[in-house]
Amino acid sequence: MKITYNNNGETHAITNQFDELTDYNLADTDQVLQDILQRYGCRQQAQLSEFSQIAGSAEYYAYAEQANRHSPELHAFDARGHRSDLVEFHPAWHRWMALNRQYAVHAYPFLPSAPQAGWVAWAARFFVAAQVESGSLCPAAMTLGSIPLIQREPELWEKIGQKLLSTEYDARDLPIAQKKSIWLGMGMTEKQGGSDVRANQTTARPIAASGRGKAYLLTGHKWFFSAPMSDAHLVVAQTEQDGPACFYVPRWLEDGRKNQIHIQRLKDKVGNRSNSSSEVEFREAWGIMIGEAGRGIPTIIEMTNYTRLTCSLGSCAMLRQALVQCLAYTRQRSAFGRTLAEQPLMQAVLVDLALETEAAMQLSFHLAHCYENQDDLSLAWKRIMTPAAKFWICKRAVELSGEAMEVFGGNGYVETGIMARIFREAPVNTIWEGSGNIMCLDVLRAIGRERESIELLFRSFAETAGQDAVLQHELQALFQLFSSLNSDEMQFMARSLVSRLVILAQAVLLKQHAPAFVSDAFIQTRYSVFHGRVVGIVDARSVDVDRLLQRALAS
């Protein structure tokens, strides 16, 4: 068989192949995000637009790919056998860490210059960054969650507060006193306990006096120790006198010696490859008790309430990025005589992805808004809907990232594009800061402790739900279930109850804030037809395909 070559010696011309979208402004091209920011009165959007242009540049997409391809390396010892416990990162990681720090992704709501609606403005920054590189947001999320706890420790805050808030990146491995800025991590999980933190075996022995603000020596291990190169960690350990307590444990001691925290190994994770997660041992590591003695678990859980919000936002960002890439790709690639985006069955998939993404965004940003307020309704949203949103949105991101990968066919299943990275990244948010079952149990515990919170939440839904017969019926049915089930029945049905609660909350928020063609389509696809495990089950007669897809990304 004779092969005919063209003039360049090639066997074929490359056509109908398109790279992933880069060099676009992640915020300015997002109509849903712009509507949300306007609704909550966010100012200083010029800075967000600037950040979004940089994060969406081809340069920073390349840094994200490099940081995940060249994962961190542990150097436990130096060349002469001395312990160094040093984790080395690719330069691309530091570019992303510096960018996030510059735009205060780690601390924006707590800055003295933060405007009104600071939590929503922060959420927009986190949402933008997580669309391209999620691993570098782990230290940012933990630092964010630690700030309110450290602020309640006056002596400690005096020493490190300004370094936590600083927007100047300092990657040097030095004692905190010598650094311009610092990161905080977290250490809860142990081998024998997992999510059951009360089963932790790490012990803390007072050096002299015991109690809040006093120094202890910690001995034990942590099976997952997030971001071991952080300058300090918040750690739960058992005290002989008071039970579990929370401790601030720095990487370096004030006298210039390394604290006795020995990194045993880095975890070889499915995704989140740019970020280092480790297993460590404490060999009389020095730490200070923060919070009340014996209240270590409630103290650390307060931190995780913030990081659970970041999980929801991070999963929203993955949904958004997957949707944008799918729309950009299908509008260019042709099959069977027209572009994929013009094919009705592909449109059904894209519409469903768009509806899911907007619903997740509306819920997550509304939760961020609730973190700004202390009224009873905002507190009910935070206590009940934060774990509920983390459960549902993070679960949906796992499923929908697989669907988005399929849109690209074989190109989506190779490691040279962003779709594979999103697919591998998505499951981490369902597991970190509490798995799905733990989130559902936390919802039930919040309802059990403060019954008035769920009643207040349902009353807040009632006016909007009353405008739609489907939502009104669901509101009444769900409230009846929460009111009539005993404890075991409620726990057995927890996943169903929490899923329905989230979808109802999303429908109400869409009804309140989104165009009718969005909210009506969401209600129709989530209640009027079978919806669940397969994306794209949509009745075209009841949705405005063109307007929905144009809203998702202008062509």
Q: What is the pLDDT of residue 49?
A: 97
> Does the pLDDT at position 2 exceed 60?
no
> Does the pLDDT at position 70 exceed 50?
yes
Number of H helices, E strands in the chain: 19, 11
pLDDT in tens, 189-237: 898 866 677 778 999 999 999 999 999 999 999 999 989 999 999 999 9
3-state secondary structure of 144: helix
Q: Where are the beta strands (DSSP E) in 26-167?
A: 73-77, 83-88
* Cα–Cα distance, 356 to 365 (Å, whole number): 14
For residue 278, give the amino acid letter.
S
3-state secondary structure of 1: coil
Q: Where are the beta strands (DSSP E) in 424-544?
A: none
Cβ–Cβ < 8 Å for 533, 507: no
Q: What is the pLDDT of residue 193?
A: 66
Q: If you search the block for the tokens 């849109």, which residue do you land on?
A: 407
Q: What is the pLDDT of residue 17?
A: 86
Mean pLDDT of 325-341: 94
- Please enumerate in sequence order all residues whose Cβ is within 8 A of that of 370, keeping only pairs 6 or more positions apart, or say none: 378, 379, 381, 382, 385
What are the Cα distances from residue 525, in Å, to 148, 245, 273, 315, 536? 40, 47, 35, 21, 9
**Tokens read off for 523:** 């209600």
24-38, 97-111, 289-303: least confident range: 289-303
* Cα–Cα distance, 168 to 182 (Å, whole number): 9
Mean pLDDT of 154-181: 97
- Please enumerate in sequence order all residues whose Cβ is within 8 A of that of 373, keeping only pairs 6 or more positions apart, or say none: none
Assigned architecture for domain 179-296: Beta Barrel (2.40)
3-state secondary structure of 230: coil
Encode burial over 383-421: b for 16+ CB neighbours within 10 A, e otherwise: bbbbbbbbbbbbbbbbebbbbbbebbeebbeeeebbbbb
Strand partners, 113: none
* Share of residues in the chain with pLDDT > 70 (%): 97
> Does the pLDDT at position 277 exceed 50?
yes
Mean pLDDT of 330-359: 95
Q: What is the pLDDT of residue 196?
A: 74
pLDDT in tens, 456-483: 999 999 999 999 999 999 999 999 999 9
Neighbours of 195 (CB within 10 A): 14
Torsion of CA 57, 61, 63, 69, to 10 degrees: -170
Confidence band, pLDDT 50/70/90 cuts, at residue 1: very low
Q: What is the pLDDT of residue 44?
A: 67
Mean pLDDT of 95-119: 93
Q: Where are the beta strands (DSSP E) in 291-402?
A: 334-335, 338-339
Q: What is the pLDDT of residue 19?
A: 87
**Tokens read off for 275:** 């970020």
Mean pLDDT, all residues of the chain: 94
pLDDT in tens, 377-410: 999 999 999 999 999 999 999 999 999 999 999 9
* Cα–Cα distance, 540 to 293 (Å, whole number): 59
Cβ–Cβ < 8 Å for 132, 274: no
Mean pLDDT of 427-454: 94
> Does the pLDDT at position 3 exceed 60?
no
Backbone dihedral angles phi then psi of residue 287, each to the nearest 5 degrees: -155, 165
**Tokens read off for 529:** 């037809």
Q: How many CA atoms lie within 13 A of 171 on its CB side?
A: 16
Identify the CATH number of the domain defined by range 299-552.
1.20.140.10
Length of the chain: 555
Pairing relationship of beta strands 73-77 and 83-88 according to DSSP bridges: antiparallel
What is the location of CATH 1.20.140.10 in the chain?
299-552
What is the location of CATH 2.40.110.20 in the chain?
179-296
